[in-house]
């Protein structure tokens, strides 16, 4: 009974969390299980699956999200705006792209990348790669083939950029480690130098103290050293037993 | 002993100070380990007579080869054989050579490469059938695949014949690929460029120790697709180390 209640509660929490992720005013609802959203069935199921399967695999392994969206029209909105709305609603990966296609539009499909990692990339390089990818995809003969080509181009692009960033980050880390190692070695040498200096200070100080004492004993207000000579009958005798008496003479 | 009264404690302090060590995390002080040296080698241990058999699908859109020319969609088999060291022409050095022949024997091409333990360099090609042509020869060998290539790596862009021929090669990913010949760990290489007015896009899945496992070649001219070929490995005589 208790496990059942817990399961129901857990499922409720998950559903609540999932629904909370989707903006409330997103008219297309939650993201579908496939990486292809084609409500009108423009792409045949086999082609949709052949596009979606590799994208799903890439997302599972590399957390790179490419979403394909096919709409009948954009209601006058710019394609990038529509694509970004889908991305905001359905994509959470650090780098993702929406491939948006409107059947019949000559400038379609559009590839719109987004995500935190994109902010680190060189915008000129991004734009150049994007233009080349869209241009190649647009050269396909049929529209479904254009969509497939655009999805492949987008995935290749994002995978390359992500790995390139990782390589760059690793290179920076390696250089930083090498710099820290050099700094540590320098610090060690400095430490050894200080230790040697400290060790040599003690005999120096002792030597200096002794020198000061020696020089001090030679100067004024210093008593000459005593010269001890043996005396007959010393210490009790003095003057060869001569006694001197001062006072009235004895009568 | 007045001076010693102050100096000795100072010296002791200096010793203590220099003996103090700020603790650093091991991640900061330890240099990053170098990546495993050459895990993909030998990159292509081909012996004379080794073969690779591919299933090939070719698509040529309608009206490409001529007005009213029909669309072409055909499948065939292609065999690549390693011939050993061959010179493409009397004035050229001997290099590693592969001969690629279609199943019906209607066309044959020779690919000239330089195979080292850790890399394969492209050198040129030559059509043998239906008619032998002059070899296309690169004075400077171009790296095709290098062992240890990481995803996100880009090769230096190549430009030949004053921009008439350009090639840009990028490593997109390292991934496992399943083809009829089996499951292979592959380096996925994307090559784009131009041959005059023809734009090309070529994705190659190269498995270190085996060779080309899958390849998708697309050619475009005047904003249209003119040719698409997909080949995947059916079987090979090469033994993976």
Question: Is the pLDDT reported for residue A135 higher than 80?
Answer: yes
B31 CB within 8 Å of a chain A CB: yes
Q: Between residues 184 and 223 of chain A, which touch chain B (CB distance below 8 Å)?
A: 184, 191, 194-195, 197-199, 201-202, 205-206, 208-209, 212
Confidence of residue B159 (pLDDT cuts 50, 70, 90): confident
Is the peptide bond preceding residue B127 cis, with omega within 30 degrees of 0?
A: no
Q: Exposure string (b/e) for A175-201, b if CB count within 10 Å is 16 or more?
A: eebeebeeeeeeeeeeeeeeeeebeeb
Which H or E run includes A36? strand A36-37
Closest to B29 (Cβ–Cβ): which among A135, A160, A181?
A181
Report which of A148, A140, A142, A184 is spatially closest to residue A46, judged by C-alpha positions: A148
* Model pLDDT, residue A120: 84
Average pLDDT over residues B119-142: 86
Share of chain B above pLDDT 90, in %: 54
Coil vs helix vs strand at B169: strand
Asked if residues B197 and B221 have their Cβ atoms less than 8 Å apart, the reply is: yes
Asked if residues B56 and B229 have their Cβ atoms less than 8 Å apart, the reply is: yes
CB-based burial of residue B52 (10 Å sphere; 0-12 exposed, 13-18 middle, 19+ buried)? Answer: buried
Average pLDDT, chain A: 84
Is the peptide bond preceding residue A235 cis, with omega within 30 degrees of 0?
A: yes
Residues 6+ apart with CB under 8 A from B106: B129, B130
The 3-class SS string of A220-234 reads: CCCCCCCCCCCCCCC
Closest to A160 (Cβ–Cβ): which among B4, B17, B170?
B170
The Cα of A230 is separated from the nearest Cα of chain B by a number of Å equal to 35
- Whole-prediction pTM value? 0.74
Asked if residues B63 and B69 have their Cβ atoms less than 8 Å apart, the reply is: yes
Report which of A187, A179, A182, A186 is spatially closest to residue B19, judged by C-alpha positions: A187
CA distance A166 to B151: 9
Q: Between residues 62 and 121 of chain A, which touch chain B (CB distance below 8 Å)?
A: 62
Report which of A31, A30, A52 is spatially closest to residue A43, judged by C-alpha positions: A52
Interface touch B29/A180, C-beta < 8 Å: yes
Task: List strand residue ranges (DSSP E) for chain B, in order.
Answer: 51-60, 72-86, 95-102, 108-115, 119-129, 136-146, 158-160, 165-179, 182-195, 198-207, 211-221, 224-236
CA distance B220 to B228: 9
CA distance B138 to B93: 12
Interface touch B32/A173, C-beta < 8 Å: yes
Measured in degrees and rounded to the nearest 5, phi and psi for residue A154 equal -65, -45
CA distance B96 to B86: 6
Could you tell me which chain B residue has the CA closest to the CA of A140? B225
Task: Name the token pair of B144.
Answer: 């095709």
* Model pLDDT, residue A240: 60
Closest to A202 (Cβ–Cβ): which among B11, B224, B225?
B11
CB-based burial of residue B119 (10 Å sphere; 0-12 exposed, 13-18 middle, 19+ buried)? Answer: buried
Confidence of residue B221 (pLDDT cuts 50, 70, 90): very high
Does the CA dihedral B9-B15-B18-B19 come out positive or negative? negative
A143-217 vs A45-62: helix axis angle to the nearest 10? 10
* Model pLDDT, residue B142: 86
* Model pLDDT, residue B34: 40
More confident residue, B155 or A245: B155
CB-based burial of residue B53 (10 Å sphere; 0-12 exposed, 13-18 middle, 19+ buried)? Answer: middle
pLDDT digits (tens, 9 = 90+) for A42-60: 999 999 999 999 999 999 9
Asked if residues B165 and B176 have their Cβ atoms less than 8 Å apart, the reply is: no
Average pLDDT over residues A9-21: 47
Average pLDDT over residues A205-222: 81
Q: Between residues 70 and 129 of chain B, which touch chain A (CB distance below 8 Å)?
A: none
Question: Is the pLDDT reported for residue B28 higher than 80?
Answer: no
Q: Could you tell me which residues are beta bridge partners of residue A36?
A: A68
Average pLDDT, chain B: 84
CB-based burial of residue A146 (10 Å sphere; 0-12 exposed, 13-18 middle, 19+ buried)? Answer: buried
Question: Is the pLDDT reported for residue B98 higher than 90?
Answer: yes
Interface touch B8/A205, C-beta < 8 Å: yes
Could you tell me which chain B residue has the CA closest to the CA of A205? B4
Confidence of residue B26 (pLDDT cuts 50, 70, 90): very low
């Amino acid at each position: 009974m208790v496990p059942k209640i817990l399961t129901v509660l857990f499922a409720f929490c998950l559903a609540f969390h999932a629904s909370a992720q989707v903006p409330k005013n997103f008219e297309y609802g939650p993201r579908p299980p496939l990486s292809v959203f084609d409500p009108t069935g423009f792409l045949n199921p086999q082609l949709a699956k052949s596009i979606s399967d590799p994208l799903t695999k890439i997302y599972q392994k590399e957390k790179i999200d490419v979403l394909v969206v096919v709409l009948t029209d954009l209601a006058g909105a710019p394609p990038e705006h529509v694509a970004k709305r889908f991305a905001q609603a359905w994509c959470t990966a650090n780098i993702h792209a929406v491939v948006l296609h409107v059947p019949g539009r000559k400038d379609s499909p559009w590839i719109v990348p987004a995500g935190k990692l994109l902010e680190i990339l060189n915008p000129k390089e991004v734009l150049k790669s994007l233009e080349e990818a869209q241009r190649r995809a647009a050269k396909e003969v049929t529209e479904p083939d254009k969509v497939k080509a655009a999805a492949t181009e987008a995935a290749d692009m994002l995978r390359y950029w992500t790995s390139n960033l990782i390589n760059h980050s690793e290179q920076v880390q390696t250089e930083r480690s090498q710099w820290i190692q050099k700094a540590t070695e320098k610090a060690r040498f400095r430490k050894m130098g200080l230790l040697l200096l400290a060790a040599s200070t003690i005999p120096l100080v002792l030597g200096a103290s002794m020198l000061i004492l020696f020089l001090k004993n030679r100067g004024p207000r210093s008593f000459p050293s005593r010269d001890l000579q043996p005396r007959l009958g010393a210490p009790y005798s003095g003057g060869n037993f001569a006694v001197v008496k001062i006072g009235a003479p004895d009568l | 002993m007045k001076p010693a009264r102050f100096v000795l404690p100072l010296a002791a302090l200096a010793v203590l100070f220099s003996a103090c060590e700020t603790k650093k995390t091991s991640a900061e002080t330890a240099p990053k380990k170098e990546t495993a040296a050459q895990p993909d080698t030998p990159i292509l241990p081909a012996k004379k007579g080794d073969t690779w058999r591919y299933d090939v699908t070719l698509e040529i859109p309608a009206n490409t080869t001529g007005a009213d020319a029909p669309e072409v969609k055909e499948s065939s088999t292609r065999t690549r054989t390693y011939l050993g060291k061959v010179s493409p022409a009397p004035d050229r050095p001997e290099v590693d050579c592969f001969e690629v022949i279609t199943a019906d024997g209607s066309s044959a091409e020779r690919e000239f490469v330089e195979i080292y333990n850790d890399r394969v360099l492209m050198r040129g090609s030559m059509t043998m059938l239906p008619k032998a042509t002059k070899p296309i020869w690169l004075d400077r060998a171009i790296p095709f695949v290098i062992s240890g290539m990481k995803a996100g790596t880009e090769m230096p862009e190549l430009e030949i014949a004053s921009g008439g021929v350009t090639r840009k090669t990028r490593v997109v990913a390292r991934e496992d690929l399943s083809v009829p010949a089996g499951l292979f760990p592959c380096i996925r290489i994307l090559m784009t460029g131009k041959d005059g007015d023809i734009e090309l896009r070529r994705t190659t899945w190269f498995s270190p120790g085996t060779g080309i496992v899958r390849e998708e070649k697309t050619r475009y001219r005047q904003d249209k697709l003119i040719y698409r070929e997909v080949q995947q490995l059916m079987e090979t005589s090469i033994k993976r180390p």
